Amino acid sequence: MTPSVIKIQSITVADVDLLANMSSETFYAAFGHLNNADDMDAYAAQSFTIQQLTNELKTPGSNFYFALVSNEVTGFLKLNTGTAQNEFKDQNSLEVERLYVLAAYQGKQIGKQLLDIAFTQALKNNNDFIWLGVWEHNYNAIHLYERMGFSHCGSHDFMLGNDKQTDLLMKKELK
Cβ atoms within 10 Å, residue 61: 14
Q: How far is CA 111 from CA 14, 159, 165, in A?
A: 23, 24, 23
Dist. CA 45–CA 49, nearest whole Å? 6
Q: Are 136 and 166 in contact (CB under 8 A)?
A: yes
Please identify which of the residues 43, 100, 105, 145 carries the catalytic annotation. 145
Candidates 95, 107, 134, 100; CA nearest to 22 is 100
Q: How far apart are the first and last CA of the chain?
A: 34
Phi, psi torsion values for 101, nearest 5 degrees: -130, 135
Q: Regarding beta strands 129-135 and 93-101, do their DSSP bridges make them parallel or antiparallel, or are they unpaired?
A: parallel
Active site residue 100: no
**What one-letter code names the amino acid at 168?**
L
Catalytic residue ranges: 145
